[in-house]
Structure 1
Amino acid sequence: MVLSRFWLVIFISSILFIVVALFSGNNYAIDYVLNGKKDDPILVSEKYLNDIPKFVKDSIEKAPEMTLVVNRDTLNSDTTYVFKNKTVKIYSGIQKSDGLLPTCKNSLLDLIIPLIAYLAFFCGIMELLIISGASEKLAKKLSPMFAKVFPSVPKNHESISYMTLNFAANFLGLDSAATPFGLKAMQSLQEINPDKDKASDAQIMFMCLHAAGLTLIPTSIIGYRAAENAANPADVMLPCVITSFIGTIAAFLIVGIRQKVNFKSAGLLAALMGVIGGIVGLLFYINSLDLIGKNHFTGNLSGLMLIAIIAFTLIFSFIHEKKFTAHATTIFDTFVDGAKNGLNTGVKIFPYVMGMLVAISLFRNSGLFEIISNGISFAFSNIGVAKDITDALPVAMLRPFSSGGSRGFMIDAMRNFGPDSFTGRLTCIFQCSAETTFYVIAVYFGSVNIKNTRYTLSTMLLVDLICVIAAIFVAGWFF
């Protein structure tokens, strides 16, 4: 219900803002909101050739194809004059994101189709884990710990193994694998959900822990920093780990208090200390390496772990091939059946993803997001918050709505302020330490037709806020 109302508020407020801007003269046209593409120039005016300044008119007539670009600057928006059909169209500024119709198209072509491919492959792998008995063995080993965090999940339930694989993939920065494992976990938890329209306690806990995004190797962030010629692309790795860990602990405590989880459990404390010890030990090892060693280790660890999971699944399935025979199937046929389930899941979640992305597209292109963002930055600057922090806030604000949008702001900040500036580093930590909240909710709950998400959205947004605050303090501590 909360998500539905929030979606309506974004949609309706954006539409109203667009209409008011058009009739008040702030916008010349609104076609870009419907049909424009990201980074396209925005039409701001149209005049007859004789109505523009003479020096501009003369320049247009001499320019190739009668198109004039004024003040060519790689860092700022240009004003472009295009003479066509007896009028001069004047463009200035660029579009923040794709319009409504391109978003509908791209959500299918650029997002859902690749996601379906990942889902098909990893769901095939997961089907092998089920039939071979590997998931059952993993669930038995982890049941004592998961019983404390997810008391409503039966002992040795298959969802435990799926959640474990999802957390492990997130931990290693394997987004392509994390989503299929997470969707399988949600579907498995839905089977034991007594109210199929309402999110269960276990589903909410899983979603919030997943969204906190505990990451050990932020490979994509390191890659973007390397592309921007950072002196040490991996220098934000430890701050990213610390910030995402704080977010994970916050999510666990917030949801755990609401669900009355027993925090005094010796088993739970031992498991938590074990995870902390493992992370600290690995970070100390990485920190002991030189720059080339860090780049090599962090660049290969995630890939090796993914290959190890696939190899283990196939070898374990081969060793226990008799179980496949008992189910009147083969290893390959089982993989194909699992892949078909992944395909169906991808098709099922498409309307949820498209609906959320279209609302976010209108929100950004309407200019409403920019006004809110600038207002918050202005308010923070007036209470004494340093400018290098406020310059990074657009990434933090946009992250829950759009991964691509916040990534664009992050890259832009590194280019404008420098990848080794405080702002450049802080934007990287913001990008790494939170999840695309609205997209994740649409995908995961949409895959199991959950209509009432209860307190999931408010908790995830609160965790996002905690991650933002933690990122600022951690970045200040390190840099």
Structure 2
Amino acid sequence: MILNYIWIGFFLLAFIIACVRLVVLGDTEVFPILVNSTFESAETAFKLALNLTGAMAMWLGIMKIGEKAGVVSLLAYLFGPFFKRLFPEIPANHPAIAPIFMKLSANLLGLDNAGTPLGIKAMKEMQSLNPTPDTASNAQIMFAVLNTTGLTFIPVQVLLYRSQYGAANPAEVFIPILLSTSITALSGMMIVAVRQRLNLFDRVFLTYLLGIFAVLSTLIYTFSQLPQERISHVSGVLSNFLLFSIIIFFIVLALVRGQGNQVFSAFIEGAKEGFDVMVQLIPYLVSVLIAVGVFRDVKALDVIISYLEYMFRQFSLDPEFTKALPVAFMKPLSGSGATGMALDTMKAYGVDSFAGKLSSVFQGTTDTTLFILAVYFGSVNIKKIRYATSAGLMADLIGITAAIIICYLFFG
């Protein structure tokens, strides 16, 4: 699979560049740096798994309460026709429906801590329908790719970083990010739909899709009318209010449906599953983070970006956007790495420079594609993920290209 070759490529490219730095530049520290990077990345992966274990246990417990209360049948009634066309393999009233819906909703609200446990829960439920347990099903691929596109309504962190770095108008990138991330999500969905021969022009499907975009457009307009200094605050309060309201709704629904005496036991039952999942996930986290670590620490991106800048100059094209490209390259690999590069770009060129604004838009355009695929498919022991990697990276490429064009239109 492509992920396998990407993983190998990271190590081989890191070794080649390290050899050049050692022989040509006399950099005797490069190999100690790479070896230390592998140990540090492995430690980071284990710590990340530990940090996620509590959130995983909590959200799987909450989901089990909702499942016992009948929230699946409620969501199937409201969104069944839409899910039936997007995930035709999943039967109506199947337990996978609730975590899928909640995970995609968490993405829109920018609730990453809640999103990962819900995504893994959805993958486990879909795995129960998978006739070939070691190979990704169509439904799992569609779900995973939709998550790699990172469609988020309010990019709170990006706006906060811009504010902290003294941007004249921190929310100036809000609309460009919404446009770019929407293009990424739509591209990912269409790429997978074409591969799976889904009918995207079905009347019912288009009606739901238009309804979703109408709601998003209304919210975009509403937030665009707020004073810029209040956008991050209001979106943060609203997102967390909605998230906690969902927990209360599950509990109240259980009480209304006569399941009140089973709420606590249902939570414990679901929470126990979280620990088993995280133990299984650790090897996949280690494998991804050590590969990304050596690729980053050997400064491979610097070499690639320098070459691209040279090529664009040769064709008399504006190379200004290449200053922000490290963020675009790192984003599918590492969220924290991309954040660090975005902040470095803002600091080096100015938060209100073209490169500073573009790096902010890159941050909100897509998500950590390779990390998400490794975590989601690793959580259910799937080794053959078929075209999930190529579809996710192609959607990223389309989104990044769109982000560059949009930024030139808005800020160029």
Output the TM-score relative to the length of structure 2: 0.95
Q: Deviations over 1:5-43 (max 9, x none)?
A: 2212222332344345435553213212222xxxxxxxx
1:411 matched to 2:307? The reply is: no
Q: Distance in 2 between matches of 1:304 and 1:179?
A: 19
Question: What pairs up with 1:4-403 in 2 under 5 angstroms?
Answer: 4-19=4-19, 21-24=21-24, 26-29=26-29, 30-35=31-36, 99-109=37-47, 111-320=48-257, 322-323=258-259, 325=261, 330-403=262-335
Q: Letter of the aligned partner of 2:12 in structure 1? A: I
Contact 1:139/1:158 (<8 A) preserved: no
Q: Distance in 1 between matches of 2:394 and 2:129?
A: 28
Q: Distance in 2 between matches of 1:468 and 1:397?
A: 9
Q: Letter of the aligned partner of 2:357 in structure 1? A: R
Q: Deviations over 1:85-118 (max 9, x none)?
A: xxxxxxxxxxxxxx11111112212x21211121
Greater alpha carbon shift after TM alignment, 13-22 vs 278-287: 13-22
Task: Give unpaired runs (5+ residues) of structure 2.
Answer: none
Contact 1:217/1:302 (<8 A) preserved: no
Query: Segments of 4+ in structure 1 off by > 6 A?
Result: none
Which secondary structure does the structure 2 equivalent of 1:261 belong to? coil
Contact 2:38/2:293 (<8 A) preserved: yes
1:444 matched to 2:380? The reply is: no
Q: Distance in 1 between matches of 2:62 and 2:43?
A: 29
Which secondary structure does the structure 2 equivalent of 1:391 belong to? helix
Contact 2:277/2:379 (<8 A) preserved: yes
Contact 1:183/1:444 (<8 A) preserved: yes
Shift of 1:378: 2.5
Structure 1 vs Structure 2: percent identity of aligned residues?
34
Shift of 1:377: 2.9
Q: Letter of the aligned partner of 1:379 in structure 2? A: M
Q: Deviations over 1:229-282 (max 9, x none)?
A: 112222212211111111111111111111111122110110111111111111
Q: Deviations over 1:289-319 (max 9, x none)?
A: 2234434322322111112112212222232
Q: Letter of the aligned partner of 1:305 in structure 2? A: L
Contact 2:14/2:298 (<8 A) preserved: yes
Taking a change above 3 Å as real, the CA distance of residues 384 and 166 of structure 1, as seen in their structure-2 partners, is farther
| Structure (1/2) with the larger strand percentage | 1
Which secondary structure does the structure 1 equivalent of 2:226 belong to? coil
Which secondary structure does the structure 1 equivalent of 2:259 belong to? helix
Contact 1:131/1:323 (<8 A) preserved: yes
Q: Letter of the aligned partner of 1:180 in structure 2? A: P
Contact 1:380/1:390 (<8 A) preserved: no
Q: Letter of the aligned partner of 2:10 in structure 1? A: I
Shift of 1:126: 0.7
Taking a change above 3 Å as real, the CA distance of residues 381 and 336 of structure 1, as seen in their structure-2 partners, is farther
Q: Deviations over 1:198-249 (max 9, x none)?
A: 1111111111111111111111111111111112222212211111111111
Contact 2:160/2:232 (<8 A) preserved: no
Which secondary structure does the structure 1 equivalent of 2:89 belong to? coil
Shift of 1:156: 2.2
Bigger Rg, structure 1 or 2 = 1
Q: Distance in 2 between matches of 1:223 and 1:371?
A: 30
Q: Deviations over 1:367-395 (max 9, x none)?
A: 33321232123223433332331111111
Contact 2:59/2:117 (<8 A) preserved: yes
Q: Distance in 2 between matches of 1:104 and 1:186?
A: 24
Contact 2:284/2:374 (<8 A) preserved: yes
Which secondary structure does the structure 2 equivalent of 1:221 belong to? helix
Which secondary structure does the structure 2 equivalent of 1:215 belong to? coil
Q: Deviations over 1:303-345 (max 9, x none)?
A: 111121122122222323x3365xxxx3122212211211221
Q: Letter of the aligned partner of 2:336 in structure 1? A: G
Which secondary structure does the structure 2 equivalent of 1:152 belong to? coil
Shift of 1:285: 1.2
Counterpart of 1:50 in structure 2 is none
Q: How many residues align?
A: 410
Contact 1:131/1:324 (<8 A) preserved: no
| Structure (1/2) with the larger helix percentage | 2
Could you tell me which of 373, 398, 402 is aligned with 1:466? 398
Contact 1:377/1:390 (<8 A) preserved: yes
Q: Letter of the aligned partner of 1:9 in structure 2? A: G
Q: Deviations over 1:382-432 (max 9, x none)?
A: 333323311111111111111111111100111122212221111011011
Contact 1:169/1:178 (<8 A) preserved: yes
Which secondary structure does the structure 2 equivalent of 1:449 belong to? coil
Q: Distance in 2 between matches of 1:368 and 1:242?
A: 30
1:431 matched to 2:363? The reply is: yes
